[in-house]
Structure 1
């Protein structure tokens, strides 16, 4: 697929060295992050991530011997080359920039803000609501997304979610085809309906 390269500075961004930003079509929004890592002379790994994928990690990793000489010297792509792809480093870059791009260009897709301390029925209904929304959007790491958006640890976000479930605001369903599944309880639905009417 032919992506269209974008200038990150047009958005006030400066990507790390080696990383580029693309759209699916001319004039489109930032959608793809891509980096090229040189593994050995003439052999590279291209790491690609899609901004709106339901996970924060590479979507595709391609190893290339860019010349016949390079391929001959290494005898093609080797196991050692595959192991040398810096996926840990790439994942850190992707996680940071995917969340930054989403927050700046699609803030409506992020979990709603919450108070520092979660204690009221309204708070727990909102926690449950955000989890259900993320799960329904096929987000595979909803707790991590919530933690990052709220500026708390994954353990804290998980604890909030567990209490919302224990207090009867969230009903966790059986996993379906390896996907998370959850619904709001009637109690949570009633609270959220009231908050919407009150404009809260």
Structure 2
């Protein structure tokens, strides 16, 4: 499928060398990051990541011998070439830019800001609300998203959600197998003046 290349500078972004930005279609929003890494002379790795995938990491990695000469010299793609793909570096770039693009292109999809210290009933009710909102948006890694948005560790974000559950602001709901399910308690709704429709 052909993607439409975008100019990152139009958004005030300066991507690292070798990385490009694409939309799914003409006039579309930034959706795909791609990079080309040279592994050996004539052999490259193409790395692709989707901005709205439910994880931070490549969605596709392709190793290519771009010429017959390069393929002949190495006798095709080798284990050494595969090991030379800088996945760690690519993952760091993807994690940073995916979250930045999400927060700038669709800020409404990011967790609402919270104070540095979560202490009041309202604070924990907001933690519960954000967790439920992300789950309802089919986010498969809500704890990671909240941790990144709030600038805290995954353990801290997880502890906040756990405390919200223990304090009665977050309740388990029945749902599909192997899918995260949770709801906002009546106590949290009263604190946040929520209605059922606000969950979505």
Length-normalised TM-score, structure 2: 0.90
Indicate how the Cα distance of structure 1 residues 68 and 194 shifts in structure 2: closer, same or farther if over 3 A, else same: closer
Q: Aligned residue for 1:127?
A: 127
Q: Aligned residue for 2:144?
A: 144
Pairwise CA distance, 1:176: 4.5
Instruction: Confirm or deny that 1:103 pairs with 2:103.
Output: yes
Pairwise CA distance, 1:177: 4.5
Instruction: Confirm or deny that 1:178 pairs with 2:178.
Output: yes
Instruction: Confirm or deny that 1:76 pairs with 2:76.
Output: yes
Task: Give the Cα–Cα distance (whole angstroms) in 2 for the partners of residues 11 and 163 of structure 1.
Answer: 38
SS state at 1:21 partner? strand
Q: Aligned residue for 2:42?
A: 42
Indicate how the Cα distance of structure 1 residues 174 and 55 shifts in structure 2: closer, same or farther if over 3 A, else same: farther
Indicate how the Cα distance of structure 1 residues 40 and 178 shifts in structure 2: closer, same or farther if over 3 A, else same: farther
Q: Any unmatched runs of 5+ in structure 2?
A: 196-200
Task: Give the Cα–Cα distance (whole angstroms) in 2 for the partners of residues 26 and 33 of structure 1.
Answer: 16
Task: Give the Cα–Cα distance (whole angstroms) in 2 for the partners of residues 102 and 82 of structure 1.
Answer: 30
Indicate how the Cα distance of structure 1 residues 12 and 194 shifts in structure 2: closer, same or farther if over 3 A, else same: closer
Pairwise CA distance, 1:175: 8.4
Indicate how the Cα distance of structure 1 residues 7 and 166 shifts in structure 2: closer, same or farther if over 3 A, else same: same
Aligned length: 196
Task: Give the Cα–Cα distance (whole angstroms) in 1 for the partners of residues 128 and 46 of structure 2.
Answer: 38
SS state at 1:37 partner? strand
Q: Aligned residue for 2:198?
A: none
Q: Aligned residue for 1:7?
A: 7
Length-normalised TM-score, structure 1: 0.90
Instruction: Confirm or deny that 1:18 pairs with 2:13.
Output: no
Q: Any unmatched runs of 5+ in structure 1?
A: 196-200
Q: Deviations 1:75-131 (Å, cap 9, x if unpaired)?
A: 222222222211111011011111111111111000011112111221111101111
Task: Give the Cα–Cα distance (whole angstroms) in 2 for the partners of residues 9 and 95 of structure 1.
Answer: 19
SS state at 2:33 partner? strand
Task: Give the Cα–Cα distance (whole angstroms) in 2 for the partners of residues 151 and 63 of structure 1.
Answer: 35
Task: Give the Cα–Cα distance (whole angstroms) in 1 for the partners of residues 64 and 177 of structure 2.
Answer: 34
* Stretch moving more, 1-10 or 67-76: 67-76
